[in-house]
Every structure is written in C-alpha cells, then in structure tokens.
Structure 1
C-alpha cells in the first residue's frame, strides 16, 4: 500500500515532531511504501527510515496554499491509497492523487481540514468540534501523539532541601503570539520582586523576538533569553517548567520536561489537560492569567517537598503506556485498516 506524507511546514516544533512520528511508525511496517513530499529544509529521513523523498519547491509550496486546483507535477506519476496531510490547506490539492486523504489536525481547528476525507484529532475537544461542524462520526478518529524519550530519566530525593532555595524556572518555544510568553514575563516580574534570587530562563526564538525582549526590558528584565537550546541540556538546568500557551493541542516539550523530572505548570488547554492530572503531576492556570501563574509558582517555590513530589509524579505519568510508540502504531494501523476496508466493502 502506497502512502503519501506531506507538509509544507519547515519550522521546528509540534508539526515536525508529528510528521517524523508518523513516518517512523509506518515505515517500520513492511506492507506500506512511504513517500514524503516536503521542502528541502525539512530533515531528510531517507537514511533513517524506509521512505523516499520528493522535493517540494518554494513555488510549489506557495501554490499548494493559493491554487489548490493546479496539478502537482511531482505527484503526476503516483497513485496513493492514503495521503497523510499535516496542513489543512493541502488536502484539496492531493485529492486527485490519493484515494483517502487523512488530515492530521494539530491545532484543534478541524474546520481547516474540510477537504480531508478523514480527520485525526489529538484531543476530545477537537473531536467534539469536528462533530459540531457536521463531519460524519465515522470519519473522525482520535489519536494523540506518542512520546518516545531518547534518554533515561532520573530524579533523586534531596533530604537537605530547604525552604525558598534558589529556584530556576524555564519556558521554551517559538516566539509567536499563541505561545503566551508575555504572560510568562509578567509572572516572572511579580515573582522576582518577592523572591529576587529566583532565576527565569526563556529559550527559543521567532518572529516576536524583538518585541518580547523589549517587553521584558520594560518589565525590569525579569527573564534571561537563551536562544534555542538542546532540551537535553536545558531540562536539567531548571526546577520548574512553564507552558503558557494560549492554545496547545499536545505539547511535546511538556512531555520532554516531565520525562526529565521537571515540575510543570501549564495552561488549561487541551494537550496539557490530557497529558497531566491537576494537583497530582502538574499545576494549571488560565491562559493569559499571569496572577494565577504567579500563584502556582509561589506554591512550588515555597514548598520544595511538594515540588519534588511533582517531579517524581511527572516521570511516572509520562511513562504511562498510552504515550507509547507501540500504542500509537497499533491505533494508527487500525485507523488505516478500517478506512481501506470500508472502501473495499463499499465497492463490493
């Protein structure tokens, strides 16, 4: 069975992680022939996975978004049973080359995938939204991403922990509006006035870099900007991780931090609420509410034993089998089998 994997996205983050996850799982199944159609800047997976790459030019990337009715020259000689589209606007363009177009809804906005035959959602909220838009229940599938750690996690108890030690708090991601980093800066300014020894690190870069640095300067420079960092180095350097996203369908970085035994505080958005359990392995706050975030930070700063308990619980939670690659692979195979079987039944 021939499968097309397609995205025009070139930025590091959730879509790239998910794209590789799907390619990794399906290329390990011998019954599938995998071809991925991406811009060159996307990492090449041909050596790592059993998959063939087709180069998407800058012009083709532009046309996919603006002129879906135009043919795709690179796909002319191909016919796919399944097309896995990681961008909603791509679905219409690949209909003529794929029997079944499956949209991977990364952003909990299923309306963007109106041209997909089937829809994979990451959270129950996205599933409900898809139903409210009138999509047939039989074409909606819930499949959260998996998390496969690259290193072994370890957190050891420290009986010498004292109240109000120097605590380092971090946040990381692309500097775009939806990541909510102004809320993180506001909360950092509040906490630094009360606990000046506390350090705040903000890792990443993006289109709002200048704006965020200026905003931090106006707030008294409560955070230190580190640029992009290796998570393997960043996680051990912090005690608490904040995820201030305004919208977060999954949150790979949250899973990575939990794996490394970092206590986490996150917004009440779909991904974190599905991954974590409030008051058990994470603290939550409303998006854009810097006062509530500051309250959560005070809780973990002033109670180091509670912080340590959250660190241990985070590791335990993220090792749950529902986040495993095997569970993801089995569910994805089941979805594809069901879709192709229904097609065969309808034709017979």
Structure 2
C-alpha cells in the first residue's frame, strides 16, 4: 500500500499526531511520502523510510505555482492507493486525480468548504466536527477517526533539572503559545495557590505575554518555561496535575498524552474534552475562562490524593479503550482501501 501526505502545520498537537500516525502506518508496511513545511523540529522524529519533501506552499512563493503541477504528475506516475491532506491549506494542494481515494483530515471546525473541492472524504477527529461540516453543506463522505498517542509510561525527569524542589506540587500544561491556549489564565490560576509550581512546555508568539503575566503576578520563581520538547513524556510523568485551559480545543491531544502517564487532568469545557471526558471519573471539567474554577480544581486534586488517583486511572482506561494506536491505524488502513 502506498499513501502520499500533504501537511503544512507548524509545531503543536496536530503535528505530534501526524508523526504518530505516519510512523504507525510505516510499522504496518505502508509506503509513504509527505510534503511538509521546511525546518520543522519534529521532522527528525519521522521514520527515515518515509520520503519527505519540504515546501512553504505560500501565496507569494514559487512553490505555489510549481508544486500543484508536481503533485499531480507524481500521483499519475506513482499511482498511490490514497492521498491525504492535513487540514484546509494542505487540501488546496489535493490534485484532481481519479486513481485513488482522496482524504482530507480535519482537527478543527472549518468555515469554508471550498478548500476541499478535490476531496472525496473528510475525516474528522471528533463527532462535533463531522456534524459541523454537514451543517455548513458538505455532501460527500464523512468519517470520524480520532487520535492516539504513545501509551508507554516513562520515568520522570529529575525535578532539580528544572530548579523545582522535590515535594512541591507541580502543575503542567503544554502546546503552542497562542491566545486560545489560555496559558496566561493558567498562570493566574496557579498564582492563587501558594507553593504550587507551573511547568509550561511549547513555544509560540504568546510566550512573552505569558512571561510578563507571571512577572506581574510575582510568580516567576514558581513558573518554568520548558520550550519545545521532542519528548514531553518525562516532564508529564514528573508533574502532579495536568491542566488544559484552552478556550477552543477541537480534541485535546495533550490530554491523551497526560492520560498515557496516568496523570489526573483538569480541562476546560471546550469542544473535544466535553465529548470524551467524564467529570469526576476521568478528569475535572471547568467552565471556559473560569480562573477561580481552575484554581479550585487544581487544589482539589492536590489535597485529595484518592480523587487524583481515581481520576488518573479513569483517564488511562479511557485512553486504552477509545484512543488506541491499533484501532486508529486500522481505521485509516481500511479507509485507504476504498475506491473513489
């Protein structure tokens, strides 16, 4: 089986899943090629057997003119079993090729369906996205296939490496530093909890604002900025509570990563988490932008070890039942076998 991917994402949860999936498919013997944005940190994590081409595919780049023709010729010459575009921008590159199934994968709610003119099936990672695209007029195929993450539990890092004392409560979050991730709000929530440390992994344009917020609140001595980490698992494993405070989160890959390390999770009531989380069973849910609510939920888990343990176990059970590599990879393999 041969599959070609088009992916122009930056650095975040969607990119982590892209790497997880193509590597899982490679382990199952799928021949793959991918066109990705240049200079991605995560490129080195991709199986070396997967052919990688780098391109910006920007409006004012030469590739915007040359790449569509190249992609179309390559499909006709190599005759793949499936073409897969990741999100809207990459879907613009999908050639009008009739020889295989053409799939666009969505991890968010599109507002414009014109990107998908050459797409046969939209794969949505939550039912909510599938319902949304039907409401706005999509008439072709829809499938819901969610994400998975590495479920191996790993040893925690030494907290001393992050200038964090042993024995203090540590809250962790991670993702791209953009406003909707609400890392500034989480910093405010942790600031209300004396003695609690906050670790934030990731990078992006909002980082300086979050640093300034920590300074304004007088908690720079309790906040650690970890930057982009190739492997976040040892950091998650060393934390006590994981928090996802986003105002908008179609799924929430980072929750799955926290569950893999059997950590109790606090999440906003954003779109993805309200689908797969059960309040009090596999996590604690807080209203979006409720700073005090996040403080109270974190404090509950720190002070009630029984509750924290029960929620952590519930999260890992949900991960293994709903978001396993085997189920997700097999669903994609079945999809790739379909005819257009």
TM-score range, shorter chain: 0.7 to 0.9
Q: 1:232 to 1:288 in 2, by over 3 A?
A: same
User: Within 1, Cα distance between the matches of 2:60 and 2:3?
Assistant: 22
User: Within 2, Cα distance between the matches of 1:92 and 1:208?
Assistant: 28
User: Within 2, Cα distance between the matches of 1:243 and 1:293?
Assistant: 10
User: Within 2, Cα distance between the matches of 1:69 and 1:205?
Assistant: 32
Q: Structure 2: any 5+ residue segments left out of the alignment?
A: 157-166
User: Within 1, Cα distance between the matches of 2:251 and 2:267?
Assistant: 12
Structure 2 residue 81 is the aligned partner of structure 1 residue 78: no
Determine the structure 1 residue equivalent to 2:161: none
User: Within 1, Cα distance between the matches of 2:199 and 2:45?
Assistant: 36
CA deviation string 1:226-258 (max 9, x = no partner): 222442331233211110112222222211211
- Normalising by structure 1, we get a TM-score of 0.80
- Which of 109, 129, 132 is matched with 1:129 structurally? 132
Is the CA contact (8 Å cut-off) linking 1:268 and 1:287 kept in structure 2?
Answer: yes
Determine the structure 2 residue equivalent to 1:257: 258
Q: Higher mean Cα deviation, 302-311 or 263-272?
A: 302-311
Secondary structure at the residue paired with 1:295?
helix
Q: 1:262 to 1:64 in 2, by over 3 A?
A: farther
- Which of 158, 172, 175 is matched with 2:174 structurally? 172
User: Within 2, Cα distance between the matches of 1:221 and 1:286?
Assistant: 24
Secondary structure at the residue paired with 1:331?
helix
Secondary structure at the residue paired with 1:292?
helix
- Which of 201, 204, 213 is matched with 2:202 structurally? 204
Determine the structure 2 residue equivalent to 1:219: 217
Number of residue pairs the alignment of both structures matches: 320
Determine the structure 1 residue equivalent to 2:189: 187
Structure 2 residue 23 is the aligned partner of structure 1 residue 20: no
- Normalising by structure 2, we get a TM-score of 0.82
Determine the structure 1 residue equivalent to 2:88: 88
User: Within 1, Cα distance between the matches of 2:155 and 2:211?
Assistant: 33
Is the CA contact (8 Å cut-off) linking 1:108 and 1:121 kept in structure 2?
Answer: no
Determine the structure 2 residue equivalent to 1:51: 50
Is the CA contact (8 Å cut-off) linking 1:15 and 1:86 kept in structure 2?
Answer: no
Is the CA contact (8 Å cut-off) linking 1:267 and 1:286 kept in structure 2?
Answer: yes
Structure 2 residue 107 is the aligned partner of structure 1 residue 109: no
Structure 1 vs Structure 2 CA RMSD: 3.0
Secondary structure at the residue paired with 1:319?
helix
Is the CA contact (8 Å cut-off) linking 1:259 and 1:318 kept in structure 2?
Answer: yes
CA deviation string 1:261-298 (max 9, x = no partner): 21110011233233422110100112212122122123
Is the CA contact (8 Å cut-off) linking 1:281 and 1:317 kept in structure 2?
Answer: yes
User: Within 2, Cα distance between the matches of 1:147 and 1:291?
Assistant: 31
User: Within 2, Cα distance between the matches of 1:277 and 1:61?
Assistant: 41
Q: Higher mean Cα deviation, 111-120 or 80-89?
A: 111-120
Determine the structure 1 residue equivalent to 2:149: 147
Q: Structure 1: any 5+ residue segments left out of the alignment?
A: 155-164, 344-348
Secondary structure at the residue paired with 2:171?
strand
User: Within 2, Cα distance between the matches of 1:204 and 1:70?
Assistant: 31
Structure 2 residue 33 is the aligned partner of structure 1 residue 39: no
